[in-house]
Amino acid sequence: MRIDVLTLFPAMVETVLDTSIPGRAARGGYVSYHAHDIRSWADNPHGKVDDRPFGGGPGMVMTCQPLYDAVNAVEALDPTPARRVLLTPQGEPLHQARVEALAEEPRLLLIAGHYEGIDERVIDELEPLEISVGDFVVSGGELPALLLIDAIVRLRPGVLGHEDSAAQDSFSARPAPDDKHADHAAGQRRLLDCPHYTRPRTWRSRSVPPVLISGDHAAVARWRNKQMLERTRARRPDLLGEVRDP
């Protein structure tokens, strides 16, 4: 999988992608990252890529020409068609189903905007998938792009080492392949993950649930499934189609 990131701060992107699971995925050959400075395509000697907004108002707006030229030039670097994605507060809310779909793409081109926004005309021309990582605003699209990359890369086969690791995460719609005792209906929902425990068995007078050290794999599976349902109902009833009392 190839991921291109168009940004005004390529060093910021490259530093993060060289660490942890994203970095390991790249070194293992599961994905390749390419950060590109949008300023490289500015048609002026000072690399200026923004201007004042028409109609007045605070902030600056990213101009059409540098971004449009950058997208076309970067896409030409590889014959594989790229799925264009713009990180923006106005985009569709990011959810696991969308992450899973994007993880199947052979190539992504992520656009990290900045300033007050991007000239709407270039967005209309490029027609990217617009994604928001939450109902809040950050300084630019770099952090949202990195968040999206991390969520996608960990779903690529081989990256996590164990094929079932991602399938058991919160919001996953797939029960673990060896979990024959999981409730089928619940397994097809996107639930929050169950609680996890490790050694020691007792810490500050708090003990691990006995079922987890019983050796009864069927009982463990049933306990985990029940915990997923209960935790989701308590914290995110909307995932179950339920409405929480005010």
Q: Is 169 one of the annotated active-site residues of the chain?
A: yes
Distance CA 212, CA 196 (A): 10
Other C-beta atoms lying within 10 Å of the C-beta of residue 164: 14
CATH class of residue range 172-240: mainly alpha
Q: Are the beta carbons of 8 and 60 closer than 8 angstroms?
A: no
Q: Is 130 one of the annotated active-site residues of the chain?
A: no
Catalytic residue among 53, 75, 89, 189: 89
**Where do the structural domains in the chain lie, given as residue ranges?**
2-153, 172-240
Q: Which CATH number fits domain 2-153: 3.50.50.60, 3.40.1280.10, 3.60.21.10, 3.40.50.10190?
A: 3.40.1280.10
Other C-beta atoms lying within 10 Å of the C-beta of residue 161: 9
Catalytic residue among 14, 169, 183, 193: 169
Q: Is 154 one of the annotated active-site residues of the chain?
A: yes
Q: Is 163 one of the annotated active-site residues of the chain?
A: no
**What does each of the 246 residues of the chain score in pLDDT, given as a tens digit?**
999 999 999 999 999 999 999 999 999 999 999 999 999 999 999 999 999 999 999 999 999 999 999 999 999 999 999 999 999 999 999 999 999 999 999 999 999 998 889 999 999 999 999 999 999 999 999 999 999 999 999 999 999 976 555 555 655 664 534 444 444 444 467 899 999 999 999 999 999 999 999 999 999 999 999 999 999 999 999 999 887 665
Amino acid at 172: S
Q: Are the beta carbons of 130 and 98 closer than 8 angstroms?
A: no
